[in-house]
């Protein structure tokens, strides 16, 4: 895994956000989020967006202590509303009483819902 990490970091000018319980995720210097599917469920490195990207940024902020990573998640546009599932926290229990909070599926872990 270390050789894969070194390869991705060098090739994409990226750093590891999360070694994960799934694909390793990275943030590139130009702001893209990558998943390394090799050794997990594929054989390529792909750029992700939406819930996958936001979840990687949340995990990266937790694991590295770099809370500024959360600033890369889009801010709410005018007319949007706070997500009622996560109350704007970006994380929520998938079901009441679950005991663990995960990135919120309702709002793609943004903390807000589009008005439209």
Nearest to 115 by CA among 88, 72, 80, 85: 80
What is the phi/psi pair of residue 89, to 5°?
-85, -10
pLDDT digits (tens, 9 = 90+) for 51-60: 999 999 999 9
Half-sphere exposure of 87 (CA within 13 A, CB side): 3
Q: How far apart are CA 67 and CA 29, in angstroms?
A: 17
CB 34 within 8 A of CB 47: yes
The whole-chain average pLDDT of the chain stands at 93
- The whole-number pLDDT of residue 32 equals 97
Which residues make Cβ contacts (< 8 Å) with residue 7, sequence separation at least 6? none
pLDDT digits (tens, 9 = 90+) for 63-98: 999 999 999 999 999 999 999 999 999 999 998 899
> Structural domains in the chain?
2-72 (no CATH), 76-116 (2.10.230.10)
Nearest to 8 by CA among 31, 29, 36, 32: 36
Is the pLDDT at 116 greater than 80? The verdict is no
- The whole-number pLDDT of residue 1 equals 62
pLDDT digits (tens, 9 = 90+) for 23-72: 999 999 999 999 999 877 878 999 999 999 999 999 999 999 999 999 99
Q: Is the pTM of this model over 0.85?
A: yes
């Amino acid at each position: 895994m270390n050789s894969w990490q070194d390869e991705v970091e060098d090739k994409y000018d990226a750093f590891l956000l999360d070694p994960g319980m799934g694909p390793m995720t990275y943030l590139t210097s130009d702001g893209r989020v990558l998943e390394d599917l090799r050794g997990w469920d594929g054989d390529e490195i792909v750029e992700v967006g939406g819930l996958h990207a936001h979840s990687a940024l949340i995990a990266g902020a937790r694991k590295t202590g770099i809370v500024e990573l959360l600033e890369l998640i889009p801010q709410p546009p005018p007319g949007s509303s706070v997500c009622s599932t996560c109350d704007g926290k970006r994380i929520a229990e998938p079901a009441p009483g679950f005991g663990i909070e995960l990135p919120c599926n309702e709002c793609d872990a943004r903390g807000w819902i589009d008005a439209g």
